[in-house]
Amino acid sequence: MRELQAWIDEHVKFDAAAADPMLFPETVGAITAAKEEAEKVVSITHDYVIPADARDGQRVLSERSWKRADGTGKHKRCEHAVTGVIVIGLGRGEAFKVCIAKEKGSTHWGAEQKERKARASGAAKQGKSGEQRWEIEQRKQREQRWEIEQRKQREQHARDEAERDRWKTAAPAILEAIAEKVKRAPTKATGLLAQIILGQLRDPWSMPKGAAASVLVPLGISAEDLVRHAAFKVLRGECYEYQAPRDFPKRAKAFGVDAKAIVAKVAPVPTAAAADTAPAPKKKATKK
């Protein structure tokens, strides 16, 4: 599974526009917030070269073209920050603020701006040969920084994998301990078990008015109330799925509800569409 995930990360480009909110809730939230603020969303990667099978003609910024600017760790915030989404390679599917303003963003690109000024000044003084030596030296330094960063990432990845392996080994013992606690935990609708169950039942991405589970089937306080409320949240999610018009009527029928009849009553076929589908009237025969 790890090998498959690693292959996907390196060869399957992440589609930010179609990100699944169940699998990438933080990323979808970041993209939505950026769109609401009319903020630019850019595709980024830690890699310098993207595999041919992951290219689709859309621009992806390599690590030379962006700097993290979300305020985490040593990464400072800046006024030029936009939302970046890692679409290929390490961290695929993650979204965070980045700065791509190489000319304006002195907070993140100050060193590079100084280098360009010094290079221009050095070239003016030393001529073409001096400029070439400067370019070679700067390229070597960039390559060295890149190698150091890649080594750090590989070492961190190895540490993470080792920690996951330790966790898998200990997981059965952890679950045995939790199982004993779960057997004695309260089953009331406001208890810890209820919170765990309801936490897995996320609301549909676009929730229309009048479909709130807390109003239609209140949570209540008993275990029976919890079962009804949780089941309704599942049904509500199914009702808004893409294939709901085809699949949900059968589910509704199990409850004695004729979903198709309700659709016909609440949202009848428009008159124009009905006219288009109606058979054309027969022409009357004319006497010669």
Per-residue pLDDT in tens (0 to 9) along the chain, 288 residues: 878 888 888 888 998 888 888 888 999 999 998 888 889 999 999 888 787 878 888 889 988 889 999 888 888 888 889 999 999 988 899 999 999 988 887 888 888 888 777 766 665 555 556 567 777 887 888 888 888 888 888 888 888 889 989 988 998 898 889 899 988 888 888 888 888 888 777 665 555 555 666 778 888 888 898 899 888 888 888 888 888 899 999 999 999 999 999 999 999 988 764 545 555 555 555 554
DSSP bridge pairs for 97: 83
Does the residue 225 lie in any domain? yes
Answer yes or no: is 90 within a domain.
yes
Check residue 262 and give its pLDDT: 93
Angle between helices 223-239 and 192-199 (to 10 degrees): 10
**184 part of a folded domain:** no
- Residue where a domain stops, chosen among 62, 79, 101: 101
Are 69 and 75 a contacting pair, CB within 8 Å?
Answer: yes
Provide the sign of the torsion angle of the four alpha carbons 282, 283, 284, 288, taken in this order: negative
Residue 93 located in a structural domain: yes
Number of domains in the chain: 2
Does 282 fall in a domain? no
DSSP calls for 94-140: -EEEEE--TTT-HHHHHHHHHHHHHHHHHHHHHHHHHHHHHHHHHHH
* Domain end marker among 75, 101, 127: 101
The two structure tokens encoding residue 179: 């199982």
Boundary residue ending a domain (101, 117, 136): 101
Residue 165 lies in a domain: no
The pairing of beta strand 82-88 with beta strand 41-45? parallel
Which ranges of the chain would DSSP assign to H, the alpha helix?
Answer: 2-11, 25-36, 106-184, 192-199, 213-216, 223-239, 244-253, 259-266, 271-277
d(CA 179, CA 177): 5
Give a yes or no: residue 180 inside a domain. Answer: no
- Kindly state whether residue 74 falls inside one of the protein's structural domains: yes
Domain that holds residue 242: 192-269
Could you tell me which residues come within 8 angstroms of residue 110 by beta carbon, excluding any fewer than 6 positions away?
Answer: none
User: Which pTM was predicted?
Assistant: 0.43
**Residue showing tokens 């070439």:** 132
